[in-house]
Amino acid sequence: MALNIKPCDVFLTRGHGLLSKAVRLFSRGIGESRTKVNHVGVVVDEGTLKTCVVVEALIKVREHKLWDRYGPPRKDFVAIYRPLNISEEEMSTIIAEAREQVGKNFGFLKIAAHFLDWCLMGAYFFRRLTKDGDYPICSWVVAHAFSKAGKHFEVEPDAAQPDDIWDFVQANKDKYEEIHPLKRVWD
């Protein structure tokens, strides 16, 4: 499939491992439908599914080709959404801010803070204490980069979870267009 993936496209993934399932479980809000995704990243260089370059927080924040991480034999599902309401200047800001995070170590403490807030029925308490950008998590990288350009996902960047970003792009069809549905990139 020769999709043209553009800079600032947001990709969200649904993994099948235990950690992925735990993230989906603990990011589900009270009364909310089942969480569909557990990870998020942003495209920084245009290309096809095989050639576009992304930034995402793994063990470290990395810049690499989307295909290298999600192509065969990986079974993760990937959805891609394109923002419809950003200028060239905002796009440059988002890309520069995402790239600024590359090389930083993953914020495992922030994951613990998300879990503790979940235990408090979603209160934004422990995440507020971990505002430090030195140790980012995936949703923070995306939400923070977009916030630098004045774009938000209706949640504080420090409180953002992949599910919040998913809910926002799903609910705001006037601001985000689905480029690739949630399925394997190689199907």
Assign residue 36 the CATH number of its domain.
3.90.1720
The pLDDT score that the predictor gives to residue 127 is 67
* CB-CB neighbours of 39 under 10 Å: 22
Buried residues in 112-121 as b, exposed as e (16+ CB within 10 A): ebbebbbeee
48 lies in a domain? yes
Q: Check: CB of residue 76 under 8 Å from CB of residue 15.
A: yes
Three-state DSSP state, 143: helix
112 lies in a domain? no
Overall domain count for the chain = 1
125 lies in a domain? no
16 lies in a domain? yes
Q: What is the DSSP letter of 81?
A: E
3 lies in a domain? no
Residues 6+ away with beta carbon under 8 Å from 120: 126
- Mean pLDDT of successive 10-residue segments in the chain (187 residues)? 91 92 75 87 98 96 98 97 97 98 84 74 71 79 97 90 95 97 95
* CA–centroid distance for 41 within its chain: 4
Q: Which residue has the tokens 């990288």?
A: 141
> In whole angstroms, what is the distance from residue 128 CA to residue 69 CA?
31
The pLDDT score that the predictor gives to residue 24 is 82
Q: Check: CB of residue 166 under 8 Å from CB of residue 160.
A: no
114 lies in a domain? no
> In whole angstroms, what is the distance from residue 39 CA to residue 80 CA?
12
* CA–centroid distance for 159 within its chain: 13
151 lies in a domain? yes
Residues 6+ away with beta carbon under 8 Å from 102: 55, 61, 62, 63
Q: Check: CB of residue 164 under 8 Å from CB of residue 127.
A: no
Q: Give residue 140's domain range.
A: 10-106+136-183
123 lies in a domain? no
Q: Check: CB of residue 64 under 8 Å from CB of residue 8.
A: no
The pLDDT score that the predictor gives to residue 133 is 65
Burial (0-12, 13-18, 19+ Cβ within 10 Å), 134: exposed
